[in-house]
Amino acid sequence: MKSSSLLLLAFLGVCGVQGASGFRICAFNLHHFGDSKSKKSNVMHTLARIIARCDVCLLQEVRDNKEKALPQLLHRLNSYDPEHEYEALASERLGRSASYQEQYVFVYRTDTVTVTGHYQYPDNRPGDVDAFSREPFVVRFKAPNTDIKEFVLIPQHTTPANTTKELDALYDVLQHVRTMWKTENVMLLGDFNADCGYLAKKNRKNVRLITEKNLFWLIPEKTDTTVRSTTSCTYDRIVVHGERFARAIVPLSASPFNFQREYRLSEDQALEVSDHYPVEVLLKNVANKFSLTFLPLFVLSQFVFQMLT
């Protein structure tokens, strides 16, 4: 991100923020989460600590073929945080190869949010019947204590070799969901592989999810969402559609959560958990209102950010 955009966002932080509390939405690539990882007590404890920070957490790369790892994670999570009750909603197994398939899983607190609908997007767009390796599993949530009340989450874990095509196809998913559920409050999130060698700068002009002016990419460019010290890439992203949803975001709250630093883990210990950091963002609570002047400033900042990156 260029310095002028950083200065503008810093100004927003001073002028707009009246508190740091909010409703937390997270997206976390668990890196081959399945039976073997679920048997590692230290890993499961760290995962519970991370997910318990979130009101809604999208999990990716869930490969729970024996259908035991996810129930164990939920048990760990509810034991670790008895003040809340957590449930999970999982997609079908997705992937072109029968030998490698993943699930999208939404873990959420039942006392702060409820599921009001879900939809497995079919990969049958006109003219392209196989756009995605793992089609989005779209979920609609009701969160009455947030400023926005209700929203839709569209997850995506792109295939690195097909990132540009899949990101562009997500725009069609967005339009379909807006029409189907008659809503403008849509967030797209996940491991987009949207950086380094997987999304060349010359290809960005061909991605409508990037060029559309009514979409705001909340994780700044050059933000490292990877655990390995040898990589520095902004793979994991959060994108919101529309000014109303943008207005419901706590300023400067979108960021990766560096659990390695927070929990004082070595790199090897952190990599046992995942090779990605989760990314997260806060929605404003009803009791945590912001200045009305925030909207034009926020939209302006996002416009400047997109123009300069």
Active site residues: 102, 157
| Residues forming beta bridges with residue 27, ordered by sequence position | 58, 279
As a three-state string, the secondary structure of the chain is CCHHHHHHHHHHHHHHCCCCCCEEEEEEEEEEECHHHHCCHHHHHHHHHHHCCCCEEEEEEECCCCCCHHHHHHHHHHHHCCCCCEEEEECCCEEEECCEEEEEEEEEECCCCEEEEEEECCCCECCECCCCCCCCEEEEEECCCECCCEEEEEECCCCHHHHHHHHHHHHHHHHHHHHHHCCCCEEEEEECCCCHHHCCHHHHHHCHHHHCCCEEECCCCCCCCECCCCCCCCCEEEEEECHHHHHCECCCCCEECCHHHHCCCCHHHHHHHCCECCEEEEECECCCCCCCCHHHHHHHHHHHHHHHC
